[in-house]
């Protein structure tokens, strides 16, 4: 699938925005880092941990500038765009540091944050020019919104055909039943009216929500139906896919919903692409691989479809320094399988191999365009430790942690206070087996609370344990701080 089509006006707006970014960064270069992932992938946790570790110079042995002693420090700064909500770093850190600690709320809208990084360059002229400075702009947005970008290339009839075909598949019978029944009971050729439009949109949204709960991701567009932000209740989110109508006329319900679909693309999706997505330099794609594995092969295949669709929309390629003031490209993409702390470290290589299989098509496209890619198994904040248990003559590797209140496994319901030792199971050695018909991977998958007792460093700052956050950070910004 090609990148979303853009108009001359779009390209002019993108160029002017990039030029404005460049003008403000004449003395201090700016790197725009996009962070996305589909629902529950851990975006908020990743950004909070990244920011906190840079501000406190945390335990980041794999982050080159810090390991080399060249990283001087970081501070939060005012973001230049006052119209975009600020990422609530302090509130999220407070939730993680509370007694008892809780996970912060998930990403529900776009937000941004600027960090000013000061470091000593390793280049030969670094000793003569003194410390260098880099603005790191972090852009956080729901992955569900990304799923909307392919809609820019689809008319209402094409989108409706695809959406209705998916809804009528046997695997979606339970989720889509209410919406399909409402559609069958509606005369789409009659005069337009809001009650019918609202009823169809409501039942369609319920279908999308149920699909997400059962691991289906490629069925989600329009993504704002699930995460509307400040558009909740607006006419722009009050439409649904419809079957073709012969002799359609102006003023019909069909025409009304088609117009709203086109307005959604023009007034919601296109500005998001133009004003935010097309201005990124680097991109992190967080993937909740384990959740799909635990659901079954259909969810794994659906995740692959969703990722391929999303990543095809990236403006990727080798960034030309001469054109960068007018046109930015994503020249590095990090694919991160999150929640690596939910399996034993002996399975991390297999988790990365599974992620590589999921993003294989997207990776080929990126490499062909001239962008670099990397895959990693990581946890922005580690919620478990590791141990062993004896089972007969065998010694099994375990995870030690506190399951979230209400989690259930083997008939036991946990209270959010009791620490347990759990054998998580083994990931398959052959990733292709996950895309074949069969049963879900036999994982003992539980959601855990944040670490119950956080260490503090010599300055009194909390220490957030992680898995490979330092390597992720080095890949994403290390070269800019060389």
Map out the domains of the chain with their CATH numbers: 8-141+276-379+466-481 (3.40.50.300), 151-272 (no CATH)
Q: Are 171 and 65 in contact (CB under 8 A)?
A: no
pLDDT at 314: 78
pLDDT at 203: 96
Q: Are 356 and 431 in contact (CB under 8 A)?
A: yes
Q: Are 149 and 313 in contact (CB under 8 A)?
A: yes
Q: How far apart are CA 228 and CA 207, in angstroms?
A: 16
Which ranges of the chain have pLDDT less than 70? 1-26, 126-127, 215-220, 319-327, 437-440
Q: Are 47 and 113 in contact (CB under 8 A)?
A: yes
Q: How many CB atoms lie within 10 A of CB 411?
A: 5
The SS3 assignment for 173 reads: helix
pLDDT at 228: 84
pLDDT at 392: 81
Q: Are 93 and 53 in contact (CB under 8 A)?
A: no
pLDDT at 328: 82
Q: How far apart are CA 353 and CA 348, in angstroms?
A: 9
pLDDT at 299: 81
Q: How far apart are CA 462 and CA 381, in angstroms?
A: 12
Give the burial class of 392: count Cβ atoms within 10 A of its Cβ; 0-12 exposed, 13-18 middle, 19 or more buried.
exposed
pLDDT at 292: 85
Q: How far apart are CA 149 and CA 95, in angstroms?
A: 33
Q: How many CB atoms lie within 10 A of CB 258?
A: 20
Instruction: Give all strands of the β-sheet with 420-422 in edge-to-edge order.
Output: 385-391, 394-401, 420-422
What is the DSSP-derived secondary structure letter of residue 252? B
Helix (H) or strand (E) holding 385: strand 385-391
Q: How far apart are CA 122 and CA 125, in angstroms?
A: 8
């Amino acid at each position: 699938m090609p990148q979303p089509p853009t108009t001359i006006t779009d390209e002019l707006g993108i160029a002017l925005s990039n030029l404005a970014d460049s003008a403000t960064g004449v003395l201090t270069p700016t790197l725009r880092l996009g962070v996305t992932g589909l629902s529950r992938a851990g975006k908020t946790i990743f950004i909070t941990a990244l920011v906190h570790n840079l501000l406190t110079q945390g335990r980041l042995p794999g982050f080159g500038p810090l390991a080399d002693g060249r990283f001087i420090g970081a501070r939060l700064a005012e973001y230049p765009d006052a119209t975009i909500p600020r990422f609530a770093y302090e509130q999220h850190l407070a939730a993680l540091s509370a007694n008892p600690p809780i996970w912060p709320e998930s990403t529900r809208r776009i937000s941004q944050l600027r960090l000013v990084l000061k470091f000593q360059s390793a280049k030969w002229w670094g000793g003569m020019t003194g410390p260098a400075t880099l603005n790191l702009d972090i852009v956080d947005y729901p992955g569900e919104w990304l799923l909307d970008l392919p809609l820019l290339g689809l008319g209402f009839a094409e989108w409706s055909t695809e959406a209705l075909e998916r809804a009528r598949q046997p695997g979606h019978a339970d989720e889509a039943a209410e919406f399909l029944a409402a559609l069958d009971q509606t005369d789409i050729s009659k005069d337009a009216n809001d009650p019918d439009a609202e009823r169809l949109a409501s039942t369609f949204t319920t279908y999308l929500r149920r699909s997400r709960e059962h691991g289906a991701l490629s069925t989600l567009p329009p993504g704002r139906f699930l995460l509307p932000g400040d558009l909740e209740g607006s006419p722009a989110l009050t439409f649904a896919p419809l079957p073709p109508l012969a002799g359609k006329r102006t003023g019909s319900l069909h025409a009304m919903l088609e117009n709203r679909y086109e307005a959604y693309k023009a007034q919601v999706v296109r500005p998001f692409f133009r004003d935010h997505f097309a201005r990124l330099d680097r991109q992190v794609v967080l993937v909740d691989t384990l959740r799909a594995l635990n659901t079954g092969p259909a969810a794994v295949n659906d995740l692959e479809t969703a990722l391929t669709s999303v990543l095809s929309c990236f403006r990727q390629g080798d960034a030309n320094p001469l054109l960068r003031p007018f046109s930015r490209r994503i020249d590095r993409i990090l694919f991160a399988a999150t929640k690596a702390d939910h399996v034993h470290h002996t399975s991390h290589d297999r988790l990365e191999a599974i992620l590589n299989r999921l993003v294989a098509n997207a990776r080929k496209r990126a490499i062909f365009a001239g962008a670099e890619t990397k895959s990693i198994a990581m946890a922005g904040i580690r919620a478990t430790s590791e141990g062993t248990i004896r089972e007969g003559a065998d010694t099994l590797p375990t995870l030690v942690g506190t399951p979230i209140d209400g989690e259930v496994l083997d008939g036991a319901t946990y209270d959010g206070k009791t620490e347990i030792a759990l054998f998580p199971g083994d990931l398959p050695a052959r990733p292709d087996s996950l895309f074949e018909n069969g049963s879900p991977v036999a994982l003992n998958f539980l959601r855990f609370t944040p670490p119950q007792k956080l260490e503090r460093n010599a300055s009194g700052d909390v220490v957030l344990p992680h898995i490979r956050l330092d390597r992720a950070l080095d890949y994403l910004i290390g070269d800019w701080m060389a």
